[in-house]
Amino acid sequence: MVVILKDGADSKKVKNLTDWLENQKISVHKVIGEYQTILGLIGDTSKIDIDLIQGLDIVEKVKRISEPYKNANRKFHPDDTIIDVGGHKIGGGNFQYFAGPCSVESREQIISIAKDVKKAGANILRGGAFKPRTSPYAFQGMRAEGLELLLEAKKETGMPIVTEIMDASHLDLFENVDIIQVGARNMQNFELLKELGRIDKPIFLKRGLCATLQEFLMSAEYIMAEGNQKVILCERGIRTFETATRNTLDLSAVAMLHEMTHLPVVVDPSHASGIARLVKPMSFAAAACGADGLMIEVHNDPAKALCDGPQALRPEEFAEVTRGVNAIRETVNNL
Amino acid sequence: MVVILKDGADSKKVKNLTDWLENQKISVHKVIGEYQTILGLIGDTSKIDIDLIQGLDIVEKVKRISEPYKNANRKFHPDDTIIDVGGHKIGGGNFQYFAGPCSVESREQIISIAKDVKKAGANILRGGAFKPRTSPYAFQGMRAEGLELLLEAKKETGMPIVTEIMDASHLDLFENVDIIQVGARNMQNFELLKELGRIDKPIFLKRGLCATLQEFLMSAEYIMAEGNQKVILCERGIRTFETATRNTLDLSAVAMLHEMTHLPVVVDPSHASGIARLVKPMSFAAAACGADGLMIEVHNDPAKALCDGPQALRPEEFAEVTRGVNAIRETVNNL
Amino acid sequence: MVVILKDGADSKKVKNLTDWLENQKISVHKVIGEYQTILGLIGDTSKIDIDLIQGLDIVEKVKRISEPYKNANRKFHPDDTIIDVGGHKIGGGNFQYFAGPCSVESREQIISIAKDVKKAGANILRGGAFKPRTSPYAFQGMRAEGLELLLEAKKETGMPIVTEIMDASHLDLFENVDIIQVGARNMQNFELLKELGRIDKPIFLKRGLCATLQEFLMSAEYIMAEGNQKVILCERGIRTFETATRNTLDLSAVAMLHEMTHLPVVVDPSHASGIARLVKPMSFAAAACGADGLMIEVHNDPAKALCDGPQALRPEEFAEVTRGVNAIRETVNNL
Amino acid sequence: MVVILKDGADSKKVKNLTDWLENQKISVHKVIGEYQTILGLIGDTSKIDIDLIQGLDIVEKVKRISEPYKNANRKFHPDDTIIDVGGHKIGGGNFQYFAGPCSVESREQIISIAKDVKKAGANILRGGAFKPRTSPYAFQGMRAEGLELLLEAKKETGMPIVTEIMDASHLDLFENVDIIQVGARNMQNFELLKELGRIDKPIFLKRGLCATLQEFLMSAEYIMAEGNQKVILCERGIRTFETATRNTLDLSAVAMLHEMTHLPVVVDPSHASGIARLVKPMSFAAAACGADGLMIEVHNDPAKALCDGPQALRPEEFAEVTRGVNAIRETVNNL
């Protein structure tokens, strides 16, 4: 951390700041220039509240140089985290498909799609029971009943399931869910993140629509700071000025996150563009740049899907994606 | 709503769509062109799920022409909503200051600031007890204890209070809070919004960092659809590429929202820029373009504030703001 | 400037860098920490090419602390720049209206509007002859002929004129133009900026749609570095995700720019929102937060304007704006 | 195009509008609803000026349904455009590498890098002579002298060259240049685009930092409307709120553009992220999702590059990229 002092900063106050920092085991190095004095802070600054320093009247600016996250930071955990879900591994070179419908709609629908996606190569079944929708008048998901149906599909097919939680008070219902998803809109629902940090289950954390990568990792850190180290990150498109696609899939985030953190990074091309035709090329791209998995919406009748139909693939289209992605991964791994 | 059909769309399927719409009391007008066929839908389309239609394989594009919100829509409620908080009115020409510290830090602090801001012209006391912070290592607020202190300050000064809720499970603690705030990060925490729609208290809803005005109003609609019509909207800066200010205060939103909705619109210049020096000019600007109120952070010792110090005003600076804002409002009202 | 060295950076290379910097009269202070070594550079770093240092293999990151602009920097020129245009001053407390049609359409039109806006309080006539349009099929302006008509309107009314240049090769045509405008799309047309830096005429520089304030000032610096110090900055809305308004007017930029630079700052509320109804409230807001002028589109028949009709005011509406703005400025000045 | 009329629009004015449209061979279909009347315009609306209609006082909103570009539109030119540069084809399944240094620095440098990149598989040499830099104090390129050196490298290696033009007045110098590049900052320098539309040479058009795909194609249309149909589009990253990468590479744009237009689409991963380590994974991703080429910065001594060093690859790293990209393309083509 670098603190730039104001011109003519009161030396007693500077001493107070220095003492306070040194009490926190930060060593302070002073660089005095003609126009500016700079304090270089050396040590573990990840737990220093930057706003406290910024607020001092002797301070012009504060810049962080080290990252404010620790558990999620690759610097301190150089090895890839590998998460095991019912024997299926994610991360550290292990790739998984998370596939299924946007919403659970009926027993027949979810079981039939589960079988289809399993046949096409998916090991983990996705399906929404609680659905965050922009409009209160849109279909809100089958909720508890939808969760029941997902669990039936799990029993029927042996596939672990991932589904979204929208409120910590629903946690009891998720007892038999294998991976709990936190949606983009709840990425900074900090009370929820803390609760999820206290359980022992993988958390599938989606990047918020306007979250920087650092904020994304800080949300992972909320979970990890409470104890739960099993976090899967998911890039699902960010909001930009572009309107031709619903969001802008940020694939550089995959490569950057692999530098910044040891956690696995999954890409969701279905939500990112909102256009089914783009799912195949974007899945190929995600695999080529090193994603650890893909979350893809598949529906046996996309035109009748109760939610997000335009972005869902039919099972045979999904099979084309897995075939291509597997081939690309093999090619890249053999380079 | 306008539905653009694909070239050569199957006529039986088009008939199915038309029948389905007409069953929902929407009248459908077909315009056949050389390259394109368009369906014009007339009637109350606010409750039609646009994704369902978009998902049909006969459909190229769907465009909404009417707004998807109804309770919040000025078209259906031309008169300004006026909200009364302990005798202090907001909206319809009534202006209020919501002032106080970012965080409650102690009994002395909150009561002393409350008295100061009251003297300077504020009628409503703000203060954070539950604090959403990007980092799990930053000060998280005094939580339940902070709420108690706020209620003491209310008793001591007679000022109604506004404070943020972070989870529906805390609602019991808010029984004596006058206005419940929903923070920008929870603007699309739909479970929370629904809960707040079932109580009888004004809700102070902050715009999300990357929420469009339509999404903002859809979140208000979530509350209103459950019954609670007392929603105060707050513009607090959006996220853009600019880095000189923390966020970009969108003052056009004040004027646009006054066209789109009948709900009162308050501006928070403190969070928008994150820079105390900008609070005065931005408060003046907000008042000049018709805001119904200002939420401003005031601290008796900003340099020692436990949170967001750099953006807080001292009481005497706040008094300068109210003096100027009152003068500008009088000038504008007399034009 | 702060240079963060890579772990284990070769000490000979570090010495080379240090020597090279010291040769440029920069003093280098080394801070050695457990995990990181930092070089603090003190002196005039505005002319150091940051990319050169960033490119070294011993360097992890470089952060600027001082601003990379010098001529435009208020730190080195504390007094407001005041620009005189035909006896009308801008900046340093002097406020001007730049008003007129988006495009010059005919002799009658431009002279009639010139008289109208003059009567309503404008001292400077704006009007587009060369028009940058997104579509090649849209009206491109009357070009040279339009410039002639503007000059006639100048003769007729005595008003100085401001109009946009689109290419340095047209400069001869602008000999009798009083202020030359650089449009948002050309803000980083550096060849044009350099040419304009070599003439002795005020330049009206519009902020690019996605330009940061620092980039905006760097473009002003391009002009000033060539000699021409008469630059008027104009905030005209930036591009964000919001779609209810065409662009997002960034009024915090007015207050921030007044800190960063001594140059006058004008606001163009017409282009920012693209909606005539928003011009009045946004003009009031701009005046309240300290703008040095307003550029406003006025048309005697907005519904028939050949370009940007939806955002133009009628003369009587413009008169309402000037009346209100004058009153607000008087109020603010008397606080 | 759909025109939504205002409630109670004067019927005579509506008739005027209808007549005016029908004179332009647009057929107008009126849909009258309870709250709204809509005009559906059928025909070639690409040359209708949307602003003219928007400006009418009887009009509430206008929405385009067809694209406003014609020459660039795949609907009217279903076959891929293939551009031949000295026997090297781009588009329609033909892939090219455009490689070389950011800036030409010396005869030795450019010839040596040219040979290196040719050996690694590049057919087209890139190199900047005229350099658009944010700061007037940064290296501006060797300009005319740099062009001479590029032409020498062309003679020496037989590679066609691509280099950036910054002003139409320099066009004479580009006579022997094979492909003329228009940089992101000049994407809407319409005077330049028109000039380039009148010559017979491929134009390499980079997407502006905040340009939508539609605006990007409108800029291509500027060139094509003047006659020159040889336009190569280049996605090079857009500006978002994210700061970990310099820009956000929008790879969905590749897939979307292939739907919208028949022009070839090249990706520049070097400028997009500004980080050399990201060039390989992003090149792989671009190839996997169907890019028609890659523009990559290569330098024999990136740490000493006079411009943009941090994003340049060394020749041996570039060879790794071409090896991987070729393998991925083969895999994808054989699916």
Determine whether the interchain pair A218/B135 forms a contact, defined as Cβ–Cβ distance below 8 Å.
yes
Q: Which residues of B touch A54 (CB under 8 A)?
A: 309-310
Percent of chain C with pLDDT strictly greater than 70: 96
CA B205 to chain centre: 4
* Cα–Cα distances in angstroms (integers) from residue D34 to residues A217, D3, D30, D37, in the given order: 51, 16, 13, 8
Identify the three-state secondary structure at position D297: strand
Determine the longest span between alpha carbons in chain B, in angstroms.
75
Determine whether the interchain pair C282/B256 forms a contact, defined as Cβ–Cβ distance below 8 Å.
no
Task: Say yes or no: B60 contacts chain A, CB-CB below 8 A.
Answer: no
Query: Which residue bears the tokens 């009152």?
Result: B326
Determine whether the interchain pair D254/A281 forms a contact, defined as Cβ–Cβ distance below 8 Å.
yes
Residue D201, both tokens: 């040479």
Residue A103, both tokens: 């919403």
- pLDDT value of residue D12: 86
Q: CA-based angle A176:A182:A183, to the nearest 5?
A: 130
In this prediction, residues A301-330 reach a mean pLDDT of: 86
In this prediction, residues B41-63 reach a mean pLDDT of: 79
Identify the three-state secondary structure at position B215: helix
Identify the three-state secondary structure at position C149: helix
Q: Angle at which helices B107-119 and B315-333 pack, to 10 degrees?
A: 30
CA distance A189 to B145: 21
Residue among D213, D242, D286 minimizing CB distance to A250? D242
- On whether the CB atoms of residues D46 and D68 are closer than 8 A, the answer is yes
- pLDDT value of residue C303: 66
Reported as a pLDDT band with limits 50, 70 and 90, residue B303 is low
Query: Which residue bears the tokens 């498909």?
Result: A97
Task: Say yes or no: C29 contacts chain D, CB-CB below 8 A.
Answer: no
- On whether the CB atoms of residues A195 and B195 are closer than 8 A, the answer is no
Higher-confidence residue: D4 or D105? D105
Q: Mean pLDDT in chain C?
A: 92
pLDDT digits (tens, 9 = 90+) for B192-219: 999 999 999 999 999 999 999 999 999 9
Task: Say yes or no: D20 contacts chain C, CB-CB below 8 A.
Answer: no
Chain A touching partners, 3 or more CB pairs below 8 A? B, C, D
Determine whether the interchain pair D289/A282 forms a contact, defined as Cβ–Cβ distance below 8 Å.
yes
CA distance B33 to A169: 53
Determine whether the interchain pair D255/A272 forms a contact, defined as Cβ–Cβ distance below 8 Å.
no
φ, ψ at A262 (rounded to 5°): -95, 0
CA distance C257 to C261: 6
Reported as a pLDDT band with limits 50, 70 and 90, residue C309 is low
Determine whether the interchain pair C238/B240 forms a contact, defined as Cβ–Cβ distance below 8 Å.
yes
* Cα–Cα distances in angstroms (integers) from residue C156 to residues C70, C121, C159, C161, C184, in the given order: 41, 17, 8, 12, 30
In this prediction, residues C68-75 reach a mean pLDDT of: 91
Q: How many CA atoms lie within 13 A of D28 on its CB side?
A: 19
Residue among D209, D218, D310 minimizing CB distance to C135? D218
- Which amino acid does the sequence have at C264? P
- pLDDT value of residue B309: 63
Cβ atoms within 10 A of the Cβ of B144, count? Answer: 11
Determine whether the interchain pair C308/D51 forms a contact, defined as Cβ–Cβ distance below 8 Å.
yes
Element (H, E) at B236: none
Find the residue in A nearest to D281 (Cα): A289
In this prediction, residues A188-207 reach a mean pLDDT of: 97
Task: Say yes or no: C210 contacts chain D, CB-CB below 8 A.
Answer: yes
- pLDDT value of residue D46: 76
Reported as a pLDDT band with limits 50, 70 and 90, residue D303 is low
pLDDT digits (tens, 9 = 90+) for B135-165: 898 889 999 999 999 999 999 999 999 999 9
- On whether the CB atoms of residues A327 and D335 are closer than 8 A, the answer is yes
What's the alpha-carbon Rg for chain B, to the nearest Å?
23
- Which amino acid does the sequence have at D202? P
Element (H, E) at A165: strand A161-165
CB pairs under 8 A between B and D: 63
- On whether the CB atoms of residues A300 and A113 are closer than 8 A, the answer is yes
- pLDDT value of residue A305: 64
**DSSP string of B158-206?**
---EEEEE--GGGGGGGTT-SEEEE-GGGTT-HHHHHHHHTSSS-EEEE
Task: List the 233-252 stretch of D: residues with Cβ below 8 A of C.
Answer: 239
Q: CA-based angle A34:A39:A44, to the nearest 5?
A: 160
**B209 CA to chain A: closest CA distance, Å?**
7
- On whether the CB atoms of residues C266 and C232 are closer than 8 A, the answer is yes
- First-to-last alpha carbon distance for chain B, in angstroms, is 40
Reported as a pLDDT band with limits 50, 70 and 90, residue C175 is very high
Burial class (CB within 10 angstroms; exposed 0-12, middle 13-18, buried 19+) of D20: middle
Q: Mean pLDDT in chain D?
A: 92
**Per-residue pLDDT for D26 more than 90?**
no
pLDDT digits (tens, 9 = 90+) for C24-63: 888 888 877 666 788 888 777 877 877 778 777 788 888 7
Lowest mean pLDDT among A185-189, A297-301, C326-330: A297-301
Reported as a pLDDT band with limits 50, 70 and 90, residue A3 is confident
Residue D143, both tokens: 């300009």
Residue among A241, A250, A327 minimizing CB distance to D212? A241
Residue D260, both tokens: 């919208």
Q: Give the mutation candidate from A51, A103, A130, A226 for the B interface (greatest B CB count, under 10 A).
A: A51
**Per-residue pLDDT for D306 more than 80?**
no
- pLDDT value of residue D49: 77
- pLDDT value of residue D305: 64
* Cα–Cα distances in angstroms (integers) from residue D250 to residues A239, A240, B84, in the given order: 12, 10, 48
E-strand ranges in D33-183 read 37-42, 59-63, 83-85, 88-90, 96-100, 124-126, 161-165, 179-182
pLDDT digits (tens, 9 = 90+) for C250-307: 999 999 999 999 999 999 999 988 889 999 999 999 999 999 999 999 998 876 666 6
Cβ atoms within 10 A of the Cβ of A322, count? Answer: 19
Chain D touching partners, 3 or more CB pairs below 8 A? A, B, C
- pLDDT value of residue D153: 97
**Per-residue pLDDT for A304 more than 80?**
no
E-strand ranges in D236-314 read 265-267, 293-297
Q: Provide the β-strand partners of residue D98.
A: D124, D295
Q: Angle at which helices A315-333 and D315-333 pack, to 10 degrees?
A: 150
CA B157 to chain centre: 27
Task: Say yes or no: B260 contacts chain C, CB-CB below 8 A.
Answer: yes
φ, ψ at C311 (rounded to 5°): -105, 0
In this prediction, residues B103-119 reach a mean pLDDT of: 96
Cβ atoms within 10 A of the Cβ of A319, count? Answer: 18
- pLDDT value of residue B31: 77
3-state helix, strand, coil in chain C (%, to 5): 40, 20, 40
Reported as a pLDDT band with limits 50, 70 and 90, residue D268 is very high
- pLDDT value of residue B75: 86
- pLDDT value of residue A35: 64
φ, ψ at A71 (rounded to 5°): -65, -35
Lowest mean pLDDT among A247-261, B107-121, C58-72: C58-72
Residue among B32, B61, B65 minimizing CB distance to D4? B65
Does ipTM top 0.95? no
Which residues touch A213 (CB under 8 Å, ≥6 apart)? A253, A256, A257, A260, D242, D244
CA distance A41 to A31: 11
CA distance C208 to C211: 5
Burial class (CB within 10 angstroms; exposed 0-12, middle 13-18, buried 19+) of A7: exposed
CA distance A322 to A96: 10
In this prediction, residues D189-204 reach a mean pLDDT of: 97
Find the residue in B nearest to C270 (Cα): B252
CA dihedral B209, B211, B217, B220 (to 10 degrees): -50
Q: Which residues of C touch B331 (CB under 8 A)?
A: 327-328, 330-331
Instruction: For residue A169, give the nearest of B187, B200, B192, B227 by alpha carbon.
Output: B192
* Cα–Cα distances in angstroms (integers) from residue C25 to residues A11, A32, C28, D137, in the given order: 27, 15, 9, 16
Reported as a pLDDT band with limits 50, 70 and 90, residue A303 is low
Instruction: For residue D283, give the nearest of A251, B40, B74, B260 by alpha carbon.
Output: A251
**DSSP string of B151-162?**
HHHHHHH---EE
Find the residue in B nearest to D36 (Cα): B42
CA distance C166 to C153: 21
What's the alpha-carbon Rg for chain C, to the nearest Å?
23
pLDDT digits (tens, 9 = 90+) for A74-116: 988 999 999 999 999 999 999 999 999 999 999 999 999 999 9
Q: Mean pLDDT in chain B?
A: 92
- pLDDT value of residue A34: 63
Find the residue in A nearest to C27 (Cα): A33
**Per-residue pLDDT for D212 more than 90?**
yes
Q: Which residues of D touch B35 (CB under 8 A)?
A: 42, 66
Q: Mean pLDDT in chain A?
A: 92
Residue C108, both tokens: 């009658």
Sign of the dihedral through C-alpha A249, A255, A257, A258 = positive
Find the residue in C nearest to A61 (Cα): C65
Query: How many residues are listed for chain C in this entry?
Result: 335
CA distance C191 to B186: 47
CA distance D127 to D99: 8
Task: Say yes or no: A214 contacts chain C, CB-CB below 8 A.
Answer: no
